[in-house]
Amino acid sequence: MSALTTENLSLSRGGKRVLSDITTTFQPGQITAIVGPNGAGKSSLLMACAGLLHAEAGRVQLAGEPISSYPHKERAKALGYLPQSGEIAWDVTVEALVALGRMPHGDARSDQGKQAINTAITALDCDTLRHRRAHQLSGGEQGRVLLARVLAGEPQFILADEPLAALDLSHQMNLVAHFKACAARGMGVIMVLHDLALAMNHADRVLVLDEGRVASDGAPQTALSAQVIADVWNVEAQWTGEQYAKALIISN
Amino acid sequence: MMAIAMRTNLVLAALLAVLVPLSLLAGRVWIDPFHVSEAGTNAALILMELRLPRAILAVTIGAGLGAAGAAMQGFLRNPLADPGLFGIAPMAALGAVTWLWFGAAFPLAFAAFGLPLVALVGAALGMTLLAAIAGRTASGVGGGIALFTLAGLMIASLAGALTALAITLSPNAFAMSQIVLWLNGALTDRSWNEVWLAGPLTLAGIAVLAFASRALDALTLGDDAARSMGVDPSRLLLLLVIGVGLTVGAGVAVAGIIGFVGLIVPHLVRPLTDRMPSNLILPSALAGGALVLVADCAVRILPLVTELRLGIALSLIGAPFFLWLLIRMRRGQL
């Protein structure tokens, strides 16, 4: 597995500079959380890494090659992107929806494709949902099914934009466990998160963005220190509790 | 998944196989199938030179409109999309009316394919305009359903206004009535010439739309997800412009505007499929063919002084159907 890197990446959207000079490396087998205030450029960075936004300056590389040079399908095989919207336009079955994950491979009906689809469905506890229709599922079930779609493509990296935002606590923990399992299998997981406690307790590494720039980058304990939170969010706060079970206490 | 699609296609194909021969018998003059040979050359002539080409044309045009409607609904992720409502058919008609105006200036050799050609160009131009206005956004294809819908309605409105202007300024009353009659859509007095013209173009268009349909499946999850799955937005747009241009343009060229088929048919067929856009194109083509064939038979046998125009008949069914869809949508049943 190869690293996904950005090198002096800058880009604008709607005439506004949203990312400035971002240089970072995402490693396979690791969960990286991208956090930051609203408008910090988190989703833009994720989309640029997925090859969906083009760099104004600098570049995004996978295995040392610019992703803009990858054919569409090859890029799609390597990078599984899970958008924030969670849109499912038509009331298709769960099985058909997950099978879309094999589209870049073009083998949803082959033995190999079917096996990948079944593995993804089982990994996300969707076996009982297999023949249900997407619009009949709860928000948590839809979240799992959409992630199963990405997993079915067996990508090297999963890039998920706020995958936990609409979920209750139990479904959040459930999905986090699945992301950890993916990382344990060698996939790189890059998640945009708003909940700093989730990032602190479950990410291997945290990248903090502020106004399109990297404010801090590293292990959660250092990247999300009280000082960084004060500088970036302008909030006085302290972490309490044990490692992997920390809570953020706001003091102002 | 495949089993459902296959079964639906087989049932619809079987329905068509029954409807086509039946339609040959129906009309002002009913033909007794068991005594065609005794009825003499007139019955044979009616069958072979009038009803058979008309039936094939009805199936062809309906198939093209059904497939175009299914593809447009998939592309826009909007169950209300329709080539007529979104300006594609009106643009094709505007092209054709322009030919009726200026066609005489061209040598006679161009006359046979001039009108169909400008109708095709009009349809493709309509789809291109729609794509250019609403499809050109930073995030890729689509550009938002509201924008696309409004752009489509405005293109339809503009094409309709320009067509009305052309009619108002027409050189004589006969030309005016010819244009109006033709615009209302009909399959009366069509011959094998129209079949040979519309058939290959429509088939090619349906093939292009079927080829693009896997990318439409990816759009089910939104523009960004589709692009992340390897869908090339500009290629998909081009395929849709060509596919919708060919199917709708060919239909308008030989039969005028026949509305609402592209809207109604995918709705009727969708519950019989797994609801994936790719599995809706072929069944919509088959069911569209069946719908136009039945509607054409109905206008033929209705006991009216003059034959009801097919386009008007389908609008009389289609507009209330559209309102019913809107009510269902409002109730969250769609």
DSSP state of A156: S
DSSP state of B46: I
- As a whole number of angstroms, the distance between CA B198 and CA B51 comes to 16
Instruction: Quote the strand ranges of chain A, DSSP E.
Output: 4-13, 16-26, 31-35, 57-62, 65-66, 79-82, 157-161, 188-192, 205-210, 213-218, 237-240, 247-250
- Are the C-beta atoms of residues A103 and B217 closer than 8 Å to each other? yes
Is the minimum CB–CB distance between B230 and chain A shorter than 8 Å? yes
DSSP state of A39: T
How close B325 gets to chain A, by Cα (Å)? Answer: 15
How close B279 gets to chain A, by Cα (Å)? Answer: 11
DSSP state of A133: B
Is the minimum CB–CB distance between A107 and chain B shorter than 8 Å? no
- As a whole number of angstroms, the distance between CA B231 and CA B96 comes to 34
Residue A67: alpha-carbon gap to chain centroid = 17
- Name which of B1, B230, B274 is nearest A103 (Cβ-Cβ): B230
DSSP string over A176-244: HHHHHHHHHTT-EEEEE-S-HHHHHHH-SEEEEEETTEEEEEESHHHHT-HHHHHHHH---EEEESSTT
- Name which of A72, A89, A96 is nearest B1 (Cβ-Cβ): A96
Is the minimum CB–CB distance between B145 and chain A shorter than 8 Å? no
Q: Comparing C-alpha atoms, which of A53, A87, A85, A141 is closest to residue B219?
A: A87
| A100 to chain B: closest CA residue | B218
Residue B109 pLDDT: 62
| A74 to chain B: closest CA residue | B230
Is the minimum CB–CB distance between B307 and chain A shorter than 8 Å? no
Is the minimum CB–CB distance between B4 and chain A shorter than 8 Å? no
Number of residues in chain B: 334
pLDDT, one tens digit for every residue, chain B (334 residues):
567 778 999 999 999 999 998 888 877 777 777 666 665 667 777 777 788 999 999 999 999 999 999 999 998 888 888 888 888 899 999 988 888 777 666 666 666 677 788 888 898 899 888 877 876 443 444 456 677 778 888 999 999 999 988 888 877 777 777 777 778 777 887 888 888 989 999 999 999 999 999 999 999 998 899 999 999 888 888 898 889 989 998 998 888 888 889 988 998 899 899 899 999 999 999 999 999 999 988 888 877 766 677 888 888 888 888 888 878 777 766 6
Q: What pLDDT, in 10s, does the model give residues A228-247? A: 999 999 999 999 988 888 89
Q: Is the ipTM of this complex over 0.85?
A: yes
Partner-chain contact A103 B1, CB within 8 Å: no
Q: What pLDDT, in 10s, does the model give residues A15-70? A: 899 999 999 999 999 999 999 999 999 999 999 999 999 899 999 999 999 999 99
Checking phi first, is residue A63 left (phi over 0); if not, alpha (psi -120 to 50) or beta? left
Is the minimum CB–CB distance between A91 and chain B shorter than 8 Å? yes
Helix ranges (DSSP H) in chain B: 2-25, 36-39, 41-45, 52-76, 88-102, 108-134, 145-168, 173-183, 192-219, 223-228, 233-255, 261-269, 281-301, 310-330
- Name which of A47, A89, A133 is nearest B224 (Cβ-Cβ): A47
What Rg, from alpha-carbon coordinates, does chain A have? 18
What pTM, to 2 d.p., does this model score? 0.88
- As a whole number of angstroms, the distance between CA A24 and CA A161 comes to 18
- As a whole number of angstroms, the distance between CA B8 and CA B284 comes to 10
Partner-chain contact A100 B229, CB within 8 Å: yes
- As a whole number of angstroms, the distance between CA A141 and CA B64 comes to 38
Q: Comparing C-alpha atoms, which of B132, B15, B6 is closest to residue B62?
A: B15
Residues 249-278, chain B, touching A (beta carbon < 8 A): 274-277
What separation, in Å, do the N-terminal and C-terminal C-alpha atoms of chain A show?
A: 44
Residue B27 pLDDT: 75
- As a whole number of angstroms, the distance between CA B283 and CA B274 comes to 12
Partner-chain contact B218 A96, CB within 8 Å: no
| B78 to chain A: closest CA residue | A89
Residue B292 pLDDT: 93
More confident residue, A105 or B234: A105
Write down all domains in chain B, each with its CATH number in brackets: 2-330 (1.10.3470.10)
Which residues of chain B make contact with A95, given a CB cutoff of 8 A? Answer: 1
Q: How many CB pairs lie under 8 A apart between chains A and B? A: 82
- As a whole number of angstroms, the distance between CA A47 and CA A28 comes to 18
What separation, in Å, do the N-terminal and C-terminal C-alpha atoms of chain B show?
A: 21
DSSP state of B27: S
A252 CB-near residues (< 8 Å, 6+ apart): A235, A236
- As a whole number of angstroms, the distance between CA A222 and CA A228 comes to 9
Residues 85-104, chain B, touching A (beta carbon < 8 A): none
| B214 to chain A: closest CA residue | A103
Q: Comparing C-alpha atoms, which of A237, A240, A165, A160 is closest to residue A195?
A: A165
Task: Give SS3 for A130.
Answer: coil
B225 CB-near residues (< 8 Å, 6+ apart): A81, A82, A83, A87, B218
Is the minimum CB–CB distance between B107 and chain A shorter than 8 Å? no
Q: Comparing C-alpha atoms, which of B262, B280, B263 is closest to residue B271?
A: B280
DSSP string over B301-313: HS--SSPPPHHHH
| B1 to chain A: closest CA residue | A96
Strand-pair category, A57-62 with A65-66:
antiparallel
